[in-house]
């Protein structure tokens, strides 16, 4: 087994759309000193490129080519696609639906999983998506399945949309989210599923702080002597100084 100096830790967070994965994963990564990886943003970037190139989402061969050729760089909350900042462009309803459609293609998934494993092999990560604990890092030290009731997930997404100035209607948004969840959890290749060894957490009615603390407790229980864990302790002691 790797010693403390080289040990890398993977915290995998999976769950349906709107469960709060991104917000929580970003906060946890900051707290732990890990790299935050939003894998949904990667599928979104490929869908955006397809839209711009006029490639149909059901063109398996060309979609796989795009996924393999895409240069994707991630920074917390930002993404660059082929050198261009695409952070806002990937957040449209068209791209959300497109990402879920191209995510059923095995060749696209292979390309994305390869990139995700490369990142996870370089540093400790908090990685969130749909198949992180089941497929990308089945040996992740910590696996969380983060859920929330559908009404709450729609309400949270609606708030995010309204904050951006969008006038999306609640009924239409609920339908889009349900359709995406249905497609993401019924596809043949790496569907959204809770890994048998994942901890299930339903965040309905919980504050962000409460969810963060609940997951940190699990991280502490499972990762007791990693180098990164020390980083968290250091950050906490600096905070209290
Ligand atoms: O997390 P998100 O809503 O940004 O993800 C967009 C879509 O990408 C989602 O509907 C399904 C797909 N996806 C996936 O299939 N596997 C992942 N690990 C992450 C996202």
Looking at 122-136, 174-188, 212-226, which range is the least confident one?
212-226
CB-ligand 1 contact for 67 (6 Å cutoff): no
Predicted pLDDT of residue 228: 46
Mutate to test the pocket of ligand 1, among 39, 180, 192, 193 (most ligand atoms within 8 A of CB): 39
pLDDT at 1 over 50: no
Cβ atoms of 93 and 179 within 8 Å: the answer is no
Mutate to test the pocket of ligand 1, among 14, 26, 78, 103 (most ligand atoms within 8 A of CB): 103
Cβ atoms of 78 and 87 within 8 Å: the answer is yes
Report residue 169 as tokens. Answer: 């209607």
Handedness of CA 162, 16, 144, 4 (dihedral sign): negative
CB atoms inside a 10 Å sphere around CB 216: 17
| Residue with CA nearest ligand 1 atom 9 | 100
CB-ligand 1 contact for 232 (6 Å cutoff): no
Cβ atoms of 20 and 144 within 8 Å: the answer is no
Q: How confident is the model at residue 71 (pLDDT cuts 50, 70, 90)?
A: very high
The terminus-to-terminus CA distance of the chain in angstroms comes to 35
| Residue with CA nearest ligand 1 atom 2 | 40
pLDDT at 238 over 60: no
Question: pLDDT digits over 40-62, tens only?
Answer: 999 999 999 999 999 999 999 99
What the chain holds in terms of domains, given with CATH numbers, is 8-34+125-220 (3.40.50.300), 35-123 (3.40.50.300)
The number of C-alpha atoms within 13 Å of 175 and in the hemisphere containing its C-beta is: 5
What does DSSP assign to residue 133?
I
Average pLDDT over residues 91-98: 95
Q: How far apart are CA 152 and CA 166, in angstroms?
A: 19
pLDDT at 74 over 60: yes
pLDDT at 202 over 90: yes
Question: pLDDT digits over 108-144, tens only?
Answer: 999 999 999 999 999 999 999 999 999 999 999 999 9
Ligand 1 centre and the CA of 192: distance in Å? 9
The number of C-alpha atoms within 13 Å of 19 and in the hemisphere containing its C-beta is: 23
CB-ligand 1 contact for 43 (6 Å cutoff): yes
Strand partners, 129: 14
pLDDT at 178 over 90: yes
Average pLDDT over residues 32-44: 97
Ligand 1 centre and the CA of 134: distance in Å? 14
Q: How confident is the model at residue 230 (pLDDT cuts 50, 70, 90)?
A: very low
């Amino acid at each position: 087994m790797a010693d403390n100096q080289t040990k890398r830790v993977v915290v995998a967070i999976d769950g349906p759309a709107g469960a709060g994965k991104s917000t929580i994963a970003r906060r946890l990564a900051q707290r732990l000193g890990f790299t935050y990886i939003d894998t949904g943003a990667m599928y979104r970037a490929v869908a955006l490129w397809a839209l711009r190139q006029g490639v149909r989402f059901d063109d398996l061969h060309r979609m796989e080519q795009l996924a393999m050729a895409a240069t994707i760089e991630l920074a917390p909350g930002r993404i660059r696609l082929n050198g261009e900042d695409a952070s806002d462009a990937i957040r449209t309803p068209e791209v959300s639906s497109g990402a879920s459609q191209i995510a059923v293609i095995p060749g696209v998934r292979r390309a994305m999983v390869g990139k995700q494993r490369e990142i996870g092999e370089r540093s400790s990560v908090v990685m969130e998506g749909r198949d992180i604990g089941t497929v990308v890092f089945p040996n992740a030290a910590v696996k969380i399945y983060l859920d929330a009731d559908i009404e709450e997930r729609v309400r949270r997404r609606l708030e995010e949309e309204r904050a951006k100035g969008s006038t999306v209607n609640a009924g239409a948004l609920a339908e889009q989210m349900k359709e995406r969840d249905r497609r993401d959890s019924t596809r043949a290749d790496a569907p959204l599923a809770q890994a048998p060894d994942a901890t299930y957490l339903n965040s309905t009615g919980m504050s962000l702080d409460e969810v963060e603390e609940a997951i940190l407790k699990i991280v502490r229980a499972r990762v007791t002597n990693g180098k990164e864990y020390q980083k968290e302790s250091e950050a906490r002691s600096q905070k209290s100084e």
